[in-house]
Structure 1
């Protein structure tokens, strides 16, 4: 788990050049178009993007560019001395600062507040998303942007769907670059999802402007969820057409969407071509496969699909052919086989390699539009009645390399794709209340299509809900810090795909599932299933996710009072010059954390426990020692009000009418207009001075707190110094320490005690480990199983409440005793009635009026069996009597 080495490094704080990259213009007010009538936030804040070390941010609705590696290299801790300037020189200095700014403004013809910046995988395009419009900008090369020229640069942009994504239509909630699309400096593929559940695939080509006007594939999910045939029309209604009212307008209101994978070699083959869509009420749907007309196939994609589809089809045809109820599975598998066969039959001349990937055409059989799978739901408790999805991520299952390499001699693909991971899809959802739900999808999502419009070929498909296994729910925001306008967003980690960052309105947290996923994977792959159920219960009942808060804002901080009420999405930058940097910002204040190397949480917890044991051993009969190092917190950020311009400079232009400006140069006359002007100036000046007073008061409180903390640190150091002095001091015969004395025996005794304590801990650990290995390493014998069943039956009978109709244990014991006595009496009477015999082989003589003759051997065998049965009953009765006596003794 990464640890925070420092918060907001100096090269990002004022007056460094990097701090000016996020500084807003104080004269401009915050645009309220991203807020509703109540002032609450109504969408995600993804206005921070990066391309390697290049950062793109939206400030004052302007797109700014900067290279953080260059800014850090140019930063110097020594402030530059500047001579005093007059008014003219001050104005000239401001103009020079604007020309030598550390960032560059990228101008785009975009109307409305920019809500999202999404950069293509190869860094050639950038999607600029507002509430209703999408623009595709062509990004220049880094060398062109980092030139000495700092004037605003106008980017070449294309509006995506001028008659599709417009203000009268439904707002855009997500814009995703397709992971399997063909991305180059000329071509790209992007998928847009609107709030009315319309999915559109755009295959962009700079040489064909028509590709920016209409999508290559458009699907209305509200039509598709009720579709029965692939021949139906699932295209969304065009511009200006009446859509009518439907209950799906609320149940299928899209919150966000994401692809199931990022086209990595170790992912499942179906994952990167699966589009997951999350609805605001909490339902999830999946479209698989969703492909453009030209798509990239990784080297292991087609072999993995063949290794999955072909054996499954053979098994279904062999076992379930002709069985009623299995026809749907058989036809669905045949559809996958036909889809894969069309890919294999493509002409090799039309296939080209790009970075080791093959460019293939999208199959048209069975259909280009897949079936909508879902809804996927999980069983939430009553306490989760506020399930309003804001964002989610999908962690794809690992590639089944064992099935892929069956019968193959070449292990190159296996080594390339060998990576740890679960064979199940992991779904992590965030809600508006700041709660994170972690679920598992156990069945897997594969390609499915609707049937053709022919009779007796396919039963009517039903969209039945699929269950998600809820593993854990986390509260990432404390109750007293929870905001009503919270819109949490996820950021994937670069080190592990089972780790991610969650950005809320006032904090950024790191959440890791890596440790749990590794233990679960080892248990699933284990060949020894003895005790597996017990270990799985322990894994699921314990802590699933490890969480650590990296950034926490104080809402009472006056420097944040005038800022927007939500943090932007966090970025994780990993570079040799920058290190590992987690960056976000809020208004004009950047928030960053420098992360150190990964640490093993098991070793960290073990070392902490050992330190605690040594502290308890060394500080017996002493007061607890306060920690010398206080918890790290973000450094002091200078409020923007200290750098703001004087409000009276622009007062005349904003509040004085043009026809009254000539009177400002005349002597003041008492009039209503003069009184109104002075009152307006007083309001403006009072607001400015009030903000200055709050910022100055906060700085004073911080200085007082710093003095108090320094005093506490000095007291702690003095206590430590006294303890160090007492450690080696000699203890006299009266039990008191002697001042100024030193004894090595005291140190040796303490060291021996610590070593002995360490040996005891190691021995206890080894004993517990050996016991657990014995319990889980061998199966239970029949005798142990019968003994466990008998103990459970006896405990259930004792703890069970006795009613009038039920028989108590004592009554059952008396009945058993009476039956045993009667059996014994009958056996004795039978034995007395039999005459003595002289030979074992001689038959028993019985009078003709009695029963027929019975051989002596058979009679004796029957008697022996009866005696054994009586002995067993007597033993059981004696055992029950002894246990009841012990229980009565223990209860008394």
Structure 2
């Protein structure tokens, strides 16, 4: 379970730069809302105003987007804390320590932020409008610039403008090339896919694919005006499936406000790059399904058609990969991506609505609407969670992933066969949060999910009264133990009924007083970093909240393979070769010992075949001798068989005796070590160990702060990489500074004193030289006046007169400069 070690973080407390980063009002006032007409409703849209790229956090405030590195904030706070010896919280306004993205094109209030999987693009979502900006390179958010220029493009201005329908969700495709495939879901039941290239305006204006959910579901759309039915077919949210199993990376789950769940699979961008080994895994999965067709007689015609289309689709993709490998002009530094196959219709089939078995428990008689959906993958099942406007949560189990299906050449009404084969998910539980509901919460309250980067079985829900953590790890772990393919469905169902449900814990309580929608969480962030820690940050319209979590024990020893130090000569351990027998399987005696003797069956068979010979007196004839010979052979075979079994049992008994003796030695060794440990002062040892641990942690934090301050990341590598030209330019600037005498601020007086001393010394030296040269100069002047020819050689030193005059002029110029010193200062 999530363990909250602290509900406050000092470097994010009120009065610190971290708090002002999240809570400062925007410099530009938010865009005023249009006056609502009588027919319009005061519905809200989901709020996700915080996004992160590692420890770099981006926050939306009005039309403004701020960015900061949390490592830098924490390092600065601890540095000031060590320097002053007291906290930096005060009533005065803290110093501004964050940057603002300079995007003049943004003229709408931002409701949602979403960063692409590769961290290159930022989707900026308003109530109806959408934009995408190119984020600065990692590390530039620590620069000294107050504003960072970012290239931004408006997305689909024809479809997403102030007169269009609301934008309910924007997600990035997990396989988009450089994270450039954006999926937009609007309240009029349209899904639009944009394959964005920033230097091509057409890709930002015209969607690559458009899916009309009404048409795919066989519903008729009104031509004059479309008013969505809030209880049936108005989209609320969507999400891509998690994990790489089968078709999940291409599966988009769509939640309707009435609670129905649909799926579009596959959604394939025009350019896409799969994860490593995904195609081969998909090929194996598809081959298994094709082989299983022979064992199932009741396979429908649509199921066979779907498998043929999947095989054709995958074959075209594998041909693209083979062509890339065999191409002689291909280079490793060239970017390669797959294109969308054309062998099948690119429009996916709308699968659903999902059958919920059993139906979820209706815990409220009031008007409620579904708000958000999240898909998490765990072993052995996946979970689909839905949160409602009253903050209730439904948890479903998905035992089999959605399969790829495509529509025909013409859209048509669903057949009765398709209605019977709707996808099924199992209802596991309905969680009712014990929080008082504000008035008119149905349409004005929109809770959202937040993923957990460390523990996939734990999800967070941000709503009007704070943030809740839902831990599903316990019952998922129990389900993994009973999920034996040989067991029947009844056995698994009984075990599920016995297991405890999810554990819910309140992490942030923003509505401690009366419930009010002004306390609703508008942005939530969960991240885990070696320096920042495992933390949660949430903000409302009026305040900022933070919580520090304890990392579970099973996640503390997770080490990146790149950080593992391989020793050339690892130390030898006396326990390395010891394998306890308790970890080995129990010895199972051969089945031969439990079988009846073969001679018994031999006699019984002969008695049944020749009863007179076997029951009468023994007579030595050919028939009796043959029976005795066969009996001898049978006894010989059994003797050899039992002899080999006895040898095996004797070997195991001998090993068991050796193992027993070794265990006695180990027990004696453990007792000896235990007596030695008990004899020592364990309490003092633990105290010393704790003291050493704190000292090591303090040294590590100090070293890490130094790396962050000098522009280094947590792994020790420079975040902002400088090119050779930039380094040469900096070296040239340094030379100019040294030659021109530029000094840094605060060191003017020290440099001025040093210059004065140097000038005085040099002035005395020049005076001595001048006194020595004055007679010679005067003599040369007299000779020139008496008519000595120019260029004649002086009798004293043989120096030409022209050269002498030139050097004297240079000396006088030097003296003039020495007596008029000038000092420069950097701006």
| TM-score interval, normalised by the smaller of the two chains | 0.5 to 0.7
Give 2:603's aligned residue.
Answer: none
2:371 paired residue among 363, 368, 390: 390
- Gaps of at least 5 residues in structure 1 are 83-92, 228-233, 397-419, 602-892
1:174 paired residue among 169, 173, 184: 169
1:421 paired residue among 379, 382, 390: 379
Q: Is 1:476 matched with 2:433?
A: yes
Residues 208/462 of structure 1: CA separation in 2 closer, same or farther (3 Å cut):
same
Q: Is 1:194 matched with 2:152?
A: no
8 Å CA contact retained: 2:534, 2:550: yes
Residues 382/67 of structure 1: CA separation in 2 closer, same or farther (3 Å cut):
closer
1:131 paired residue among 111, 114, 127: 127
Normalised TM-score (structure 2)? 0.59
Higher-Rg member (1/2): 2
8 Å CA contact retained: 1:203, 1:292: yes
User: Secondary structure of 2:238's match?
Assistant: strand
Normalised TM-score (structure 1)? 0.55
Give 1:490's aligned residue.
Answer: 449
How far the C-alpha of 1:357 sits from its partner, in A, is 11
Q: CA RMSD in A?
A: 3.8
Residues 483/476 of structure 1: CA separation in 2 closer, same or farther (3 Å cut):
farther
Deviations 1:354-378 (A, max 9, x none): 9999732221222101111001142
How far the C-alpha of 1:475 sits from its partner, in A, is 1.6
Q: Is 1:217 matched with 2:209?
A: yes
- Gaps of at least 5 residues in structure 2 are 556-827
Deviations 1:756-794 (A, max 9, x none): xxxxxxxxxxxxxxxxxxxxxxxxxxxxxxxxxxxxxxx
How far the C-alpha of 1:507 sits from its partner, in A, is 1.6
Residues 29/452 of structure 1: CA separation in 2 closer, same or farther (3 Å cut):
closer
How far the C-alpha of 1:28 sits from its partner, in A, is 8.7
Matches within 5 A, 1:476-555: 476-479=433-436, 484=441, 485-525=444-484, 529=487, 533=490, 536-555=493-512
Give 1:416's aligned residue.
Answer: none
Q: Is 1:116 matched with 2:112?
A: yes
8 Å CA contact retained: 1:512, 1:546: yes
Aligned residues: 535
Deviations 1:489-520 (A, max 9, x none): 11111222221111111221111111211211
Give 1:15's aligned residue.
Answer: 15
How far the C-alpha of 1:544 sits from its partner, in A, is 2.0
How far the C-alpha of 1:526 sits from its partner, in A, is 6.5
Matches within 5 A, 1:663-678: none
Give 1:295's aligned residue.
Answer: 272
Residues 573/365 of structure 1: CA separation in 2 closer, same or farther (3 Å cut):
same
Deviations 1:435-463 (A, max 9, x none): 000012345310011234699xx998548
8 Å CA contact retained: 1:126, 1:139: yes
How far the C-alpha of 1:210 sits from its partner, in A, is 1.4
8 Å CA contact retained: 1:483, 1:505: no
User: Secondary structure of 1:500's match?
Assistant: strand
Matches within 5 A, 1:732-881: none
Give 2:394's aligned residue.
Answer: 437
8 Å CA contact retained: 2:245, 2:401: no
Residues 79/553 of structure 1: CA separation in 2 closer, same or farther (3 Å cut):
farther
Residues 25/182 of structure 1: CA separation in 2 closer, same or farther (3 Å cut):
closer
Matches within 5 A, 1:677-716: none
How far the C-alpha of 1:246 sits from its partner, in A, is 7.2
8 Å CA contact retained: 1:328, 1:459: no
Q: Matches of 1:248 and 1:464 in 2, distance apart?
A: 25
Give 1:606's aligned residue.
Answer: none
How far the C-alpha of 1:225 sits from its partner, in A, is 1.2
8 Å CA contact retained: 2:313, 2:344: yes
Give 1:334's aligned residue.
Answer: 308
Q: Matches of 1:375 and 1:355 in 2, distance apart?
A: 45
1:258 paired residue among 235, 239, 242: 239
How far the C-alpha of 1:383 sits from its partner, in A, is 3.4
Q: Matches of 2:303 and 2:137 in 1, distance apart?
A: 51
Q: Matches of 2:155 and 2:417 in 1, distance apart?
A: 37
How far the C-alpha of 1:182 sits from its partner, in A, is 0.9
Q: Is 1:381 matched with 2:361?
A: yes
How far the C-alpha of 1:569 sits from its partner, in A, is 3.2
2:259 paired residue among 265, 282, 295: 282
User: Secondary structure of 2:360's match?
Assistant: coil
8 Å CA contact retained: 1:118, 1:176: yes
8 Å CA contact retained: 1:353, 1:359: no
1:366 paired residue among 329, 338, 344: 344
1:590 paired residue among 520, 541, 544: 544
Give 2:100's aligned residue.
Answer: 105
Give 1:571's aligned residue.
Answer: 525
Matches within 5 A, 1:582-731: 582-598=536-552
Q: Matches of 2:500 and 2:520 in 1, distance apart?
A: 29
How far the C-alpha of 1:156 sits from its partner, in A, is 1.7
8 Å CA contact retained: 2:58, 2:68: yes
8 Å CA contact retained: 1:376, 1:467: yes
